[in-house]
Chains A and B, each alone.
Chain A
Amino acid sequence: MLVTCPNCGPREVQELRCAGESTTRPKTTPTQRELNEYIYFRANEAGLQREWWFCRACEDWFLAERNTVTNEVSRTWHPARSPEGSAR
């Protein structure tokens, strides 16, 4: 399985770390339920999923769009260098 780091190019998956699906932060003062939903609950998509990855080589974080059924990574990008940023 290959993941393309925006800085280092295609890398074997062991050289990176998957930090899980990207989530939306709750508002500034969330209720306990909102906070716990944010911390624990996950969509766990079977299909296209947007997730955070960390490259161990360049030690940088980036976003990826991966199909969790086929493990095919269709797109990776650096949120700071992309107009859409990290918005879902």
Chain B
Amino acid sequence: MKDIFLKKQILKRPDELKRHYDVVIIGGGSHGLATAYYLATHHGITNVAILEKSYIGSGAAGRNTTIIRANYRTPEGAAFYKQSVELYERLSGELDFNLMFSQHGHFTLAHSDRSLVVQQERAEVNKLLGIDSYVIDAKEVKKLCPQINISTDVTWPIQGALYHPPGGIIRHDAVVWGFAKQVTRAGIEIHQNVEVTGFDISNGRVHGVKTTKGDVSCGVVLSATAGWSSIVAKMAGVPLPIIGSILQAFVTEPVKPFLDKIIVSAQMHIYCSQTDRGEFLIGAEVEPYPTYSNKGTFPFVEYACRHVLELFPQLHATKILRHWTGLCDMSPDYSPIMGLTELDGFLVDCGWGTYGFKAAPIVGVTLAELIAKGKTPALIEPFKLDRFYTDTLVSEAAAAAVSH
């Protein structure tokens, strides 16, 4: 009987760490796993180890609000996320794992004239890049999403919305498991409960990684550690423009399916969707002070409930089931930081703040190409760490400051 369960195990537990790997990826989240997957499938590099200090998907990959969208404000950002959405669309088949991706549409509500102007700007940038995204008025919002309250008897009446039909939600844990399954099949080792404690650095180059399970030598190290990026980069002596803060979310008890759209409000700083299990998933803004404490706060619950009830008064009697936090690595311009650093062989993938999960496949494709060929792909050229030294920031605050 025991054998049946063992055979079904997706993840084979690898033995001890080998002495050498071509590539060591720190962090077994969606980004680390995706990079390993594309290293194997696109470039045939399989002498790779993923080192995860906890279990795979224990960080941001398992704590996000699963929204996938591409309606960003900057051409650099929008073009990048567009490819990510396209990769997600065929990922279930590719990974042979049901990711339950449902693209039912994404609304960014506008509650003021100024907000509508910003939404219009975003729509124009999106249209130019071939992303399906346009501005609609309050009546149209009500037509597409009859459940929403568009009355003017609220704090911030809805004026209109940026509508993004391909926006959707996905089963985030399945993304982690799907990548992990294929990565393991390709012969890449996933080492859980292995924490990195330092690096072997000489002559401006990283030669190895020190871990709690022994030292390994390696050609390239990628730190895909999200909220813990500053700590890992500090060990390598690479300063980062990152501030860590927590983002909170909660789900209600499951109710009958009545909302298939994703609703985001930039003014109220909240977003909500209904999961396949019927739970209402509600998230808000990062806490306004830097912290590493994964402890939820009551003001968040109070704030989020107040605003969600103005959009969906039907939920007034629904109880909260679970409430959790995730650590976010916020960059100054709300754009990610990817690629080479001043330390040879040490690559970073951080600054993903509150929008990292939706980019996982394209991060994997581009970083795998960078590791395999040694040259930064044009798509992620604007996101290099160097931009903070040369003042070439990519301000995504208009589309990403609300954490959805």
- A37-B239 contact, Cβ under 8 Å, with A1-B297, A46-B231: yes
The SS class assigned to the B binding surface is: loop
Query: For chain A residues 21-77, which have a beta carbon within 8 Å of chain B?
Result: 21, 32-33, 36-37, 40-44, 46, 49, 51, 68-71
Complex CA gap A68/B227 in Å reads: 13
Q: How far is the CA of A25 from the CA of B389 in the complex (A)?
A: 17
Asked if A41 and B240 sit within 8 Å, CB to CB, the answer is yes
B60 within 8 A of A: no
B230: A residues at CB distance < 8 A: 42-44, 46
Given contacts A40-B332, A44-B230, contact A18 B288 (CB under 8 A): yes
* Count of chain B residues with a beta carbon within 8 Å of a chain A beta carbon: 23
**B240 adjacent to A68 (CB under 8 Å):** no
Which residues of A sit under 8 angstroms from B388, Cβ to Cβ?
A: 36, 40-41
Interface residues on A, range: 20 to 34
Whether A14 sits at the interface, judged by CB under 8 Å, is yes
- The chain B residues found within 8 Å of chain A, CB to CB, are 228, 230-231, 234, 239-244, 288-293, 295, 297, 299, 332, 388-389, 391
CB contact between B389 and one of A18, A32, A43, A46 (< 8 Å): that residue: A32
In the complex, are the beta carbons of A36 and B391 less than 8 A apart? yes
Q: A42 is contacted by which of B243, B295, B389 (Cβ under 8 Å)?
A: B243
Cβ A21 vs Cβ B297 within 8 A: no
Q: Known contacts A40-B241, A44-B230, A44-B244; is A13 also within 8 Å of B389 by CB?
A: no
A1 CA to B332 CA, complexed, in Å: 25
Indicate whether A85 reaches chain B with its CB closer than 8 angstroms: no
